[in-house]
Structure formats: C-alpha cells, structure tokens
Amino acid sequence: MNSLLCRALPLLIVAASTFDSVEAQLSTVQSYKLDAAQSTANANLPISNSVTDIVVSGSTIWLGTGKGLSRSTDNGTTWRNYYNTPEFGQEDVSAIAVHNNEVWVATAHSKDVDGSSLPEGSGLRYSIDGGETWTIFPQPRDTKNIDTLFYNAKSRIRALGVTTNVNNITYDVAATDSAVWIASYAGMARKSTDKGKTWQVVIIPPDLLDSIYPTDSLVFDMSPVAGGLGLQNNFNHRAFSVYAENWSNVWIGTAGGINKTTDGGSSWVKFNHKNQAAPISGNFVVALRSQSFAGQKIIWAGTVNAEGLTEKRGVSFSQDSGQTWKTALLGEFCHNIGIKDSVVYIVTDNGIFRTSDVGQTWTQPGTIYDKITRQRIASQKFYSVDVSFDNVWFGGNDGLASTLDNNNNPFGFTWKVLHASQPLSSNRSTYAYPNPFSPDDEVVRLHYSTENRTAKVTIRIFDFGMNLVRTVISNADRFGAPEFDEIWDGKDDNKRQVANGPYFYQVVIGNGEPIWGKILVLQ
C-alpha cells in the first residue's frame, strides 16, 4: 500500500517554504472531456487492489485507489477506471466527496526529497456530470511565507504561507451547497466558496485555546509547524479529516482534536483528550461521520493517540453534539466509518467491526470469502467503507469486498470479492500479482486458467536454486470459473518468511505439462 494514502500517516510536517520557492506559481486551471476508450480498461473490475476511499451516492460507487479513481453505476458489476486519462494521469486518489451532482476528488503522489519519500498533493478534480467531464484545480497553496488573516478588527492572526505541495496533501474533502472544505495536513483546513477557484485558510483554535468567537480579541499563529519563521507550532492546525452535516454544521479533525462550528466557520469549539471530563480517546482524528436514527444524532470519530501518554487508539462517539464522549474499540486503529441507519461499521488494522447498539457490543465477520469466484480477502487491514442501500462495501490493501446486511441476509454471510487482475493471454499462461510483492504488507496471487474444465491443481514455489520452498495447493479441485487465483503469503512450508529475491512457481493442472511463472519478493 502506498504510504501517502494511508490515514495512519505519522505526524511529520516539513516547513512549507523548504522545497518550493515563493515564486513558484499555481498552474492554470484546465478542463478535459473524458475519453471513454482510455477509462474503461478491464471494465469488469476496479483497476487497483489498494482501495483507500469509498464514497457511495445513490447507486453510484466511487473508489479512491492506488491507481486513481474507479466508478461503478451498477452496484459493482462493471467499472470505469480513470487511469492514464488526461485529467487523472497516474495520480493516486487521497480523498473523494460527493454532494448532489458534484464530485470532488483529491489526488497525490510520492516525491523523493533528499533521499526520503514524502507525499505531495497534486490538486483536486471537480465534476458536475457524474464524472464525464472534469475541471482540474492545482493543490491550494500560498505565495507568501507569512500572511495576516482577518478574523475581526480586534484580532491579529499570522498564518504560515504554504508555498509547497510537499506534505500539503488533502486527506479529506466535504462539500455543501455553499462551500467545499478540505483537510490538507501541512496545508491546514481550507474552504472554497467559488467551486475551487480560490481557497481560504479556515481559522480554528490554536493548541492553547478551546474555542474562538468573532467577539474575541485574539493573537495567535495559524501554523502546523514552527519552522524558521518565528511562528508557533500548533497540532490543531494539522488537518486530517472533515465532515459537513450541512452549510453551518462542520466538524474538522486534526492532530489536536475535533473542531466544531455551527455557524459556517465563524466560531469554533474544540474537543480533545485533555479539555473534557469525558473526552475522546486520542487527539489524532483521522475520520468523522454523523449518524441519525430514531430521533438520535451521534457524531463518530476515529481517534488515535498523538503525543499524550494517556491517549489511546480507538473510536469516540458523542450523543450530545460533543459535550461528552464515549469510547470503544480501544487499542484499534480506526481508519474510517460507515453508517447504515442504526448500524455503524468501523474499519481498522485488525479487520471490520460492526455495532447496532451504539457501541455497546461489537461483532466481526470472520473470513471474507466469495463462494462463487472462490476469491477471499487475505489481509485484515481495511481503510475504507461505505453503504449502498443494503450493500456494505469495504476496501483495503487486498481488494474490494461487499456483503448484504438486512433482516433476510445477515451481515457477513454472503460476500462478493473483487480483485484487480488482467485476463490471461492464453489458457497456458500465468502471472503473479502484485509483483514484486512485500510479505509484510500483502500476499501475492498466482493467476491461472483451467480451460473451463474441472481439474485437480498443484502449485509449488521454488527458490532461485530450484529448491522446493512451499506447496501452495496439492491436487486441489478447481471448477466453476475459467480463471483462478491462489494465494502465497511469502512463507515456506515451515511458516518462516522467505528472504528477498526471485522465486519461481509451478502450476500443474491435471496431468498436463507444468506452467511456470516468476515472483520477486522485496521487503
């Protein structure tokens, strides 16, 4: 999984003026018409198995992946993949928001800086016609090292000018009728009221204040880092998540807590691990969602430990608009939250959790296995979740999965699993994906065909010296599909992880001649 898309990004900020000069100007806004021939490669599947964001709007499912954007309008049967198109190129997708007919997509990539790979925001894409045409906006940034923001005539607020795209990556987007809000890490929280043409820094409390109001006399710095410019560092200005209930009620999650406005951003109240008797579990807030059912309104947050020794990873939720918080799943890293009426789904490093009683009890689905295609999800780590009617969709670093959840179909009983793969060039060919692969983070799938017949299949792994390393399957019956995947976890027959290097695998179908393929293990 590309680390720049993982919401578990370490709290590393690089001063905004370090990499790009002040003179570097924003690129010109561009518009493109989608070329359908370019965007529909392998249209029966999403293009990537690394799914870091899912947003459902009616019958349309949007995926943010390690190979850009994918969209389905028929409940996951077919997909349009926006990879290598003029408007998306080969960018990763770091955030998606859908509001009515509007779609906002934030993109990013990795950049090598002095021998280190750092995330770099590459702008936003905006569509008003369901993804047929797109307008491209550059990553929001500033032209001055320090600026002065107007809050009221009695206040003096200096702001760090974010003059670089490095670490200025948009991790979340929220859209309303009147504004678009982004949480951009080193770029802080910003909003646009003119459909992305211009962006303003959102003034939220510094670390030392729990609230700000237009009647206050305020003197502080808007700055996620101190740097060499004499500005005060504020964890609460490192923005990671944003959720807009409507034009007036907006929640922003940072490395310093949860910030709430009820007047469209004029005033803010901050909730963190230290300033309440019943606080959130941790100040690093990576996800925010609102739940409404049976007259209740509950705000849910993925709250991770930042710097405080008493902070813990977990989920925090409030039934009184943030005045008090309850916590659950302590010790789990929550990456995202899905809501379906009274049911809440939490995706974590250790799998999927479901509650239907506001966090009192939690269940997990067990093995995620598609009985029709024989595909399964081999990783416990999930990054994304959303709900389409009775279908719940989950994404991680090992593909996309969905299950029904209603009175007639218990949650997790029937799964649909989708893995990105290319058709075989012939019935006697095979390939492995991903390749190279890292056993620490993923499994490798060995793709082959039985030529549409029932057969017994054996697959073995050999090292470079042709020594047997692992028997993956032996005389296993395979039927019901033209092509199959088998999983290797990078371990030998003694369950020891293999060393880096090239490996060969052998596929024997029935009494046929062996088919050979090559795998590169690279940690």
CATH of the domain at 179: 2.120.10
pLDDT of 49 higher than 60: yes
pLDDT of 482 higher than 80: no
Q: Could you give the number of structural domains in the chain?
A: 3
My answer on whether 327 and 337 are in the same domain is yes
Q: What pLDDT score was predicted for residue 2?
A: 40
pLDDT of 25 higher than 50: no
pLDDT of 40 higher than 80: no
My answer on whether 339 and 455 are in the same domain is no
Measured CA distances, 283 to 52, 333, 338, 383, 494 (Å): 22, 13, 21, 19, 42
How many CB atoms are located within 10 Å of the residue 365 CB? 21
My answer on whether 500 and 400 are in the same domain is no
Residue given tokens 């077919």 in the structure block: 78
Tell whether 10 is covered by a domain.
Answer: yes
Residue given tokens 């599909």 in the structure block: 481
pLDDT of 185 higher than 70: yes
Q: How far apart are CA 73 and CA 415, in angstroms?
A: 19
pLDDT per position as a tens digit, 355-406? 999 999 999 999 999 988 778 898 899 999 999 999 999 999 899 999 999 9
Whole-prediction pTM: 0.86
Measured CA distances, 232 to 17, 158, 274, 432, 488 (Å): 15, 10, 20, 50, 50
Q: Which domain holds residue 490?
A: 431-521
Q: What pLDDT score was predicted for residue 184?
A: 96
Measured at the CA of 104, the angle between CA 150 and CA 176, to 5 degrees, comes to: 55
The mean per-residue pLDDT over the stretch 408-423 comes to 91
pLDDT of 447 higher than 50: yes
Among 351, 367, 383, the domain boundary falls at: 367
The mean per-residue pLDDT over the stretch 133-152 comes to 95
Poorest-confidence range of 35-49, 78-92, 177-191, 478-492?
A: 35-49
pLDDT of 20 higher than 70: no
My answer on whether 166 and 232 are in the same domain is yes
pLDDT of 29 higher than 60: no
Cross-strand partners of 127: 103
- Of the pLDDT bands very low, low, confident and very high (cuts 50, 70, 90), residue 273 is very high
The mean per-residue pLDDT over the stretch 20-48 comes to 48
My answer on whether 10 and 50 are in the same domain is no
Among 339, 367, 395, the domain boundary falls at: 367
Q: Helix (H, G, I), strand (E, B), or coil: what is residue 263?
A: coil
My answer on whether 26 and 45 are in the same domain is no
Q: What pLDDT score was predicted for residue 226?
A: 81
pLDDT per position as a tens digit, 299-342? 999 999 999 999 999 999 999 999 999 999 999 999 999 999 99
Contacts of 193 (CB under 8 A, 6+ apart): 178, 179, 200
Q: What pLDDT score was predicted for residue 245?
A: 96
Sign of the four-CA dihedral 418, 420, 426, 428: negative
Tell whether 514 is covered by a domain.
Answer: yes
pLDDT of 76 higher than 80: yes
Burial of 89 per CB tally in 10 Å (0-12, 13-18, 19+): middle
The CATH number that applies at residue 460 is 2.60.40.4070
Q: What pLDDT score was predicted for residue 26?
A: 29
Q: How far apart are CA 475 and CA 511, in angstroms?
A: 11
My answer on whether 361 and 378 are in the same domain is no
- Of the pLDDT bands very low, low, confident and very high (cuts 50, 70, 90), residue 43 is low
Contact 475, 456 (CB under 8 A): yes
Tokens of 145: 């090292």
Nearest to 521, CA basis, from 501, 507, 505, 504:
501
- Of the pLDDT bands very low, low, confident and very high (cuts 50, 70, 90), residue 422 is confident
Tell whether 425 is covered by a domain.
Answer: no
Length of the chain: 523
Q: What pLDDT score was predicted for residue 21?
A: 29
pLDDT of 36 higher than 50: no
Contacts of 22 (CB under 8 A, 6+ apart): 143, 144, 145, 161, 163
Among 352, 367, 382, the domain boundary falls at: 367
* Residue 496: its H or E element: none
Q: What pLDDT score was predicted for residue 446?
A: 94
Residue given tokens 């490798």 in the structure block: 444
Give one word for 198, left, alpha or beta, with left for phi > 0 and alpha for psi -120 to 50.
beta
Q: What pLDDT score was predicted for residue 410?
A: 94
My answer on whether 259 and 210 are in the same domain is yes
Tell whether 192 is covered by a domain.
Answer: yes
Q: What pLDDT score was predicted for residue 6?
A: 46
Tell whether 387 is covered by a domain.
Answer: yes
pLDDT per position as a tens digit, 224-242? 988 778 899 999 999 999 9
Poorest-confidence range of 37-51, 332-346, 427-441?
A: 37-51
My answer on whether 8 and 132 are in the same domain is yes
- Of the pLDDT bands very low, low, confident and very high (cuts 50, 70, 90), residue 276 is very high
Q: What pLDDT score was predicted for residue 31?
A: 43
Tell whether 158 is covered by a domain.
Answer: yes
My answer on whether 387 and 478 are in the same domain is no
pLDDT of 24 higher than 70: no
My answer on whether 147 and 247 are in the same domain is yes
pLDDT per position as a tens digit, 108-117? 999 998 888 8
Nearest to 412, CA basis, from 370, 375, 379, 372:
370
Tell whether 516 is covered by a domain.
Answer: yes
- Of the pLDDT bands very low, low, confident and very high (cuts 50, 70, 90), residue 167 is very high
The mean per-residue pLDDT over the stretch 161-178 comes to 96
pLDDT of 127 higher than 60: yes
Tell whether 92 is covered by a domain.
Answer: no
My answer on whether 18 and 53 are in the same domain is no
Q: How far apart are CA 159 and CA 224, in angstroms?
A: 10
The mean per-residue pLDDT over the stretch 190-208 comes to 97
pLDDT of 201 higher than 50: yes
- Percent of the chain at pLDDT > 70 equals 92
